[in-house]
Structure 1
Amino acid sequence: MNREVFRKEEQVLGEARAAVATAQDKGKPVAPVFSSLVDEYGRLLRQSRRLVTMGDRMQQTLNSLNHDLAVGEQKYRGIFENVTEGIYRCEADGTMVEVNPAMAAMFGFRDSESFLASVRNFKSLFCSPEDYELYESLLRADDVWRYQVKTCGPESGTIWSEISASAISGQDGGATDGVVGVMADVTERKHMVEEMCRLARTDSLTGLFNRGYFMDLAARELARVQRNGGGLSLLIVDVDYFKAVNDTYGHDVGDKALITLSRILMNSVREVDVVGRFGGEEFVVLLPDAHRPDACRVADRILEHVRAAMIDASDGSFAMTVSIGLTSFEDEGDDLDSLVKYADIALYAAKKNGRDRVEVYRRSACSCRQADCVEAATAGGGQKQ
């Protein structure tokens, strides 16, 4: 290509050199300035040819770069438009610049344009200012992070989102030019985890706390009482003659009886009280900030409600009764295992003394409207049924 560009110049230079050579062959004098001009013209022509060659190479490189950029843009657009996670870009102040279709759909919009028309600032997607402040603090950190937070879209309502974002540095390391991030809808995953946690701590039949989780909660409450003082009482509730219920009416009716009892227990206590199923027909009730007289009133109320409840069976309905063992925190040396043991001793006494009653394990005087106080030495023995 260079020869085509400089053909005329090469022709002129060749003619000039030929003229100088012909004159010298004929012995004619040639002006030094003319020879110098011819040589200088030759040097300029060579430099020009080199510059054009460099320009051609630079253009080829530029073309290659433009091609690579076009391919990269095509790949980016393919990912941006088709990825299932939401992708967004916003200014440093949160002003939205760009979102992909997945993020628009995540928040209930038909396309990116309608999302940007409705959501002007990324901050408006956060349900609480505190959550957005934490998001900003994470942006200022250099570490890679993922942040799960409740987001509130104008079209989608509340969803759980997992955000991973990074700030775009300004020129020469100056102020942030903006933020680019990825969002994923993890609502279903969050609910699944919550459901797994719920199943791990609750009884599948009654929905009450299971033994393990009840003991954890009770241990925390006992530690609080030991630290700060106050009352604490524990009830163990056992269905009377439950084996006869299963044998007479079947296990499905027995299950119905346990579910009924669990509802009675929940309706007989406060929201701060903790109710759990220990296993089989045995239930436990923890009464924080309740001394023995308060706990006796709760136990009496449970007895009355249980007596009044009727359980439907195939050939009619029947009533059930329960026996209750009660103990209260009295000594700083009492641990949870001791309280459970004392309540269980009182429960054995209730069974032994006729059932459908409350017995109280005591080391000091007690007062229950219809409960007999039982000394530890005489409360043992008997068999729960």
Structure 2
Amino acid sequence: MDKLKGRHTPLRRALWVVSLYLLAGWIWITFSDYLAEQWFPDPEALSRVQTYKGILFVLATALVLFLALMRQLGSDRTMLSLHHHQREEIRNLNQFRESVIERANVWINVLDPMGRVVLWNKAAEEISGYRRDEVLGSDEIWPWLYPDDDERARIRARAEEILRDEGEVVGYETRIITRDGSRRLISWNSRSLRNDDGEIVGSIAIGQDITDIREAETTIRQRERQLSTLMDNLPGMAYRCRYDEHWTMLFVSSGCRELTGYEPDDLVNNKRVSFAELISDDGEESNLRTVESAIGNAEPYSLEYAIVRKDGQCIWVWERGRAVEDNGDLVLEGIILDISDRKALEVELSELATRDPLTGLFNRREMARLLDEEIVRAKRYGRALSLLWIDFDHFKHINDDYGHAAGDSVLKATSGLLADSVRSVDVIGRFGGEEFVILLPEMNRSEASETAERLRGLISDTPQPLGDGRTVPLTISIGVSVFPDNGADASALCAAADKAMYQAKSNGRNQVVLAPLVEQAHNS
């Protein structure tokens, strides 16, 4: 009926205009003719007046028609422009729907106040598996997506709150069942829609499929737990630090407690102490050079150095790491292990390789090496070097009379007495049996002779313990040789000192004999 009424409105308006025009024409003709006859009784004058009156009527009606047509044409032009604008708006809206809504990679749907679907974009079809023609104008989608009654009731209640404009949702997660039976996790943002009059006409919901994101997050959390478990069970401390003067820690594993005595948080960002403060001064410069070289060659680095724990204990650690780039910054990553036991073993093995097991003095091999070093140093700087060759007098009698255990006790006590009676720069060692050698750097012939006499007198005046509470007197014979007077190499010096020692024994023992100079040897 409204359409018929709208269709008849122009006809009625046209009839009204024609009727008004006829009425005006009739009134004009009737009254104008009557007035003309009254005012112009002369027929000739009346005829001219009638002519002019007709022309005036035509001009007046033409003017009215012109104005009416101008107004109508203007109105039509406005309507045409509005119609064109509306068509452009519709086209733009269709383009918007096509480019934004239809091509969006997120689920977009619109519900009417009854909860029925009125818009269902391409992404909604792809994610849910349900076509647009299956869901438009219907609310059947609810049990399809949420077959569980309780869950569906809860979600529909939330949707109805939005339709009543009782709030909106942001990041509201639901798990749907797709057409193929798979489960997908959707994050929703939804709010109510109003028309120009402010009336609620439905709601719009935008959903993002976050199934893969949540699965990735779960995988990452699992890997983080695995990594944390691995870090916590490492036999040392894993770290990540800045390449700066403080070795500023960005991360340390829980092994930090056992290694350093500090809590991990104490070292991170130098909160309580920097790792550089734990490194002994002897190792810091060497570490820096090694790390710099490794970074320059794009290689991993290995370090061994000592650190001081929180309790003051000094331990040795081994570090293995490499430089990596992190957001444009250079950081170091690696692991640090406690190698104190290994270091102690190395020291012990080194001692066994260089020390006499009975007396703790340097053995023959180490003494030969040290003698070669001292000769090189003496040659380089033009300094003197003396060598004492010592042999115990009648030591065989002690072993025979008191036993080898007593002899070992005498050797240990005598060697300790000799070691305590020389300078810190002097070197004493056992060459084998009851023979001992002492190196005296920067000591000339007369000074070496005085030192030898002092040591001889000390041993002669000091009874040596047998290990069972008894003591026994002991004397020594000493041969002295001097570099370079008695030889330019180790073998010559040792031979000269050994020969002088045997000369002391031939002379009656308990005395010091200096190896003769080359000129004296020829004269004798």
The CA deviation string for residues 306-336 of structure 1, in whole angstroms up to 9 with x for no partner, is 1111123458432110111111123596211
Distance in 2, matches of 1:376 and 1:348, equals 19
Task: Give the partner amino acid of 2:435.
Answer: E
The CA deviation string for residues 313-363 of structure 1, in whole angstroms up to 9 with x for no partner, is 458432110111111123596211111111111111111110111112112
Structure 1 residues 214-363: aligned runs within 5 Å: 214-313=367-466, 314=468, 316-331=470-485, 334-363=488-517
Structure 1 residues 63-212: aligned runs within 5 Å: 63-93=214-244, 94-109=247-262, 111-113=263-265, 116=268, 119-128=272-281, 129-131=284-286, 133-134=288-289, 136-138=291-293, 140-141=295-296, 142-171=298-327, 174-176=328-330, 178-212=331-365
Contact 1:96 1:120 (C-alpha < 8 Å) held by counterparts = no
Does 81-90 or 120-129 show the bigger shift?
120-129
Per-residue deviation at 1:181? Answer: 2.2
Distance in 2, matches of 1:195 and 1:287, equals 27
The CA deviation string for residues 239-270 of structure 1, in whole angstroms up to 9 with x for no partner, is 00111111111111111111122122212321
Structure with the greater relative contact order (CA < 8 A, sep ≥ 6): 1 or 2? 1
Per-residue deviation at 1:96? Answer: 2.7
Per-residue deviation at 1:144? Answer: 1.4
Are residues 267 and 90 of structure 1, via their aligned partners in 2, closer, same or farther at CA, if it must alter by over 3 Å?
closer
Q: Please, what TM-score do these two structures have when normalized by structure 1?
A: 0.76
Task: Count the aligned residue pairs.
Answer: 329
Task: Name the residue aligned to 1:381.
Answer: none
Per-residue deviation at 1:70? Answer: 2.9
Contact 2:266 2:273 (C-alpha < 8 Å) held by counterparts = no
Task: Name the residue aligned to 1:382.
Answer: none
Per-residue deviation at 1:59? Answer: 5.3
> What's the C-alpha RMSD, in Å, of the aligned pairs?
3.3
Distance in 1, matches of 2:314 and 2:442, equals 37
The CA deviation string for residues 138-180 of structure 1, in whole angstroms up to 9 with x for no partner, is 5634111210111223335322111122333133xx332x332
Contact 1:234 1:287 (C-alpha < 8 Å) held by counterparts = yes
Task: Give the partner amino acid of 1:330.
Answer: P
* 3-state SS of 1:169 partner: strand
Distance in 2, matches of 1:120 and 1:283, equals 50
Contact 1:139 1:165 (C-alpha < 8 Å) held by counterparts = no
Q: Please, what TM-score do these two structures have when normalized by structure 2?
A: 0.57
Structure 2: any 5+ residue segments left out of the alignment? 1-123, 138-178, 180-184, 187-207
Task: Name the residue aligned to 1:52.
Answer: none
Task: Give the partner amino acid of 1:344.
Answer: D
Task: Name the residue aligned to 1:9.
Answer: 133
* 3-state SS of 1:355 partner: coil
Contact 1:268 1:298 (C-alpha < 8 Å) held by counterparts = no
* 3-state SS of 2:316 partner: strand
Contact 2:390 2:478 (C-alpha < 8 Å) held by counterparts = yes
* 3-state SS of 1:362 partner: coil
Task: Name the residue aligned to 2:33.
Answer: none
Task: Name the residue aligned to 2:169.
Answer: none
